[in-house]
Amino acid sequence: MNAARATLSAACLSGEARALREAVVARLTAVFAEAGHARLEPPHLLDADLLLDLYGEDIRTRAFLFPEPVHGGELCLRPDFTLPVALAHAEAGWDRAAAYAYAGPVFRLQDQSETRPIEYFQVGVERFGEADRARADANVLALVLSGLDALGLSERQIISGDPSVVFSLLDALEIALDRKTALRRHFWRPNRFRALIERYTQARPAPSARRSRLLAAAAAGTVEQEAAEAGEVLGLRGLDEIAARADALAVSAGVPPMPKEQADLIAAVLEIQGPSGEALAALRDLTAGAGVDIGPALERFERRLDALNRVGVDAEDLPFDVRFGRAMEYYDGFVFEITAPGSSDWPPLAGGGRYDRMTERLGAPKPVPAVGAMIRPEAAILAGARP
């Protein structure tokens, strides 16, 4: 594994490999241009607060952050192209359909023990405003497969998923809002997600004397007053934040444990994996048997399979895993990742997915259909690409 990643890192530096990478980038750029994608040159630096808000705090440990000298904030070297391309589309106007292509380096901070490169290339596409989401999803996957075909990489392994299936299940169950929010936020962290489910199903232990006093103050609305009387506030939180947190704890303390049937259903759904056709049928049977309606999510799933079949992808056999969501928290629909056979320790060849909700958080009046994907040239070279 380390040898493979070291080879990939070296491929970014040697002259011969660099020339090959340029050829791979040129070939992919041509494929995407022929498919009608306008070339963008997004900036390298982004507002760090915006990026951390959209991508999640986990990216902070992988991001290159710099002080912004004029306004006193932080800047970040782009970890991928999705956000800067979405911002460019926002400037042009949300209320139109558009298809973009890009190519260039991205930057991920690595542990000192890692041999993964801190800078590598991505060549990809982002598409906005297409009302037929299933068709757009299918077209993006088909386009990425065409790009890999153009590089001679016809042998590959694909995994797909759809976080909206789990999100729809959480919405359909009678779960306290703060719990739903926490579970959605930690979908990308399986261990944390399972730990939360286990915690929610257990009766809460009796609060300590200190917490009992805090909960009583929250019920009486006297948290700020009592905190002020206690002396100087230590730490970074102000009195209003302390009071808000106390109120949240008080609400949470009154919520009964999650019924075992709910926890078992969530666990069973998360275990579904296999060919997409079979996974869809299993999801229908499982949720219907539990009397839980996630019909819209399953209808989207079925429409996507139909659209994939129309573009030549064997949708019924496309591998699907409910737990698969890729690493970035902005994805909220169809996602996929492609690897080279027998290279589980290598970086992926390609990946992408849907991120409609991000557009609303960037200022769109309502979620705009948005889907994109990228191919990693160095990973493709490692897998034997020859443009």
Instruction: Give pLDDT tens digits for 322-366.
Output: 999 887 888 999 999 999 998 777 889 999 999 999 999 999 999
Q: Which two tokens stand for residue 4?
A: 């493979």
Among 56, 63, 57, smallest CA distance to 78 is for: 63
CB 367 within 8 A of CB 356: yes
Task: Tell me what pLDDT residue 326 has.
Answer: 82
Beta bridge partners of 310: none
Task: Tell me what pLDDT residue 110 has.
Answer: 76
Task: Tell me what pLDDT residue 215 has.
Answer: 61
pTM of the model: 0.85
Ranges of residues in the chain whose predicted pLDDT is under 70 = 1-14, 56-58, 60, 111-115, 204-254
Task: Tell me what pLDDT residue 11 has.
Answer: 46
